[in-house]
Amino acid sequence: MELNIYNIKGEVTDKKVTLNDSIFGIEPNKHVIWLDVKQYRANQRQGTHKTKQRNEIRGSGRKLVRQKGSGGARRGDVKSPLLVGGGRAFGPKPRDYSFRLNKKEKVLARKSAFSLKAQNNSIVIIEDFDLETPKTKSMLEMTSNLKLANKKLLLVLSSQNKNVYLSARNLRNVNIVTASDLSTYKILDCASLILTESSIAAIDNSFKAKGEK
């Protein structure tokens, strides 16, 4: 797939880039995408939810009413789950929600996510750029020039750039990530994927370095 390269003013340059078909041109596998997104979100869960059972709360162990003859149901102490202020029966306990996913499935999921974006024409390529000072206005102007204002965007850089990151930090709909930190969830969780020239090579190299290509 061949795409035009834009500058930060939104103008088409005389350069073009050809995206790797083995990454951006495969048939998306929606099942492995679902698995990878499920794993990503599960790994974000703290799993610290907890309620106290009857053996963990304070209260008298005295039997409230006699066993028989009251005409009511049998009842134990005030810590019973049936009473207000009693322990919780079968309540949630701290647990680890994370699980492992096959490496080849994760690779296929990322490639499938890239290919979905390519099929939907949701990939924009821009020239490498830098900002002299952190300025939110500069980032707003760039998104406006590219006609992507008010859309949820993911800008992919080849390496960390402090000024670019700080310029987008206050924008709710713009996220900055390096090519090495890309995940299936992040790729899908945006309306448009903005790639810098150098980030394309970094994406290719990240697959080659791990023998994933």
Ranges of residues in the chain whose predicted pLDDT is under 50: none
pLDDT of residue 212: 56
CATH homologous superfamily of 2-46+98-209: Ribosomal protein L4/L1 (3.40.1370.10)
Pull the structure tokens for residue 138. 């500069």
pLDDT of residue 74: 87
Per DSSP, the residues of 86-152 read: -PPTT------------HHHHHHHHHHHHHHHHHTT-EEEE-----SS--HHHHHHHHHHTT-TTS-
Exposed, middle or buried, 213 (CB in 10 Å: 0-12/13-18/19+)? middle
pLDDT of residue 1: 81
pTM for the complete prediction? 0.82
Write out pLDDT tens, residues 83-124.
Answer: 999 999 999 999 999 999 999 999 999 999 999 999 999 999
Residue with the two structure tokens 């309540």: 91
Q: Which residues of 192-206 are buried (b: 16+ CB within 10 A; e: fewer)?
A: bbbbbbebbebbbeb
Distances (CA, A) of 123 to 31, 130, 165, 199: 22, 20, 20, 13
- List the domain boundaries for the chain: 2-46+98-209, 51-91
pLDDT of residue 75: 87
pLDDT of residue 209: 61
What are the two backbone dihedrals, phi and then psi, of residue 37, each rounded to the nearest 5 degrees? -65, -40
Give the separation between CA 7 and CA 40, rounded to whole angstroms.
33
Pull the structure tokens for residue 32. 């492995």
Yes or no: say if 15 and 5 are a contact pair by the CB < 8 Å rule: yes
Residue of 186, 122, 121, 116 whose CA lies nearest to 156:
186
pLDDT of residue 210: 59
Give the separation between CA 130 and CA 142, rounded to whole angstroms.
12
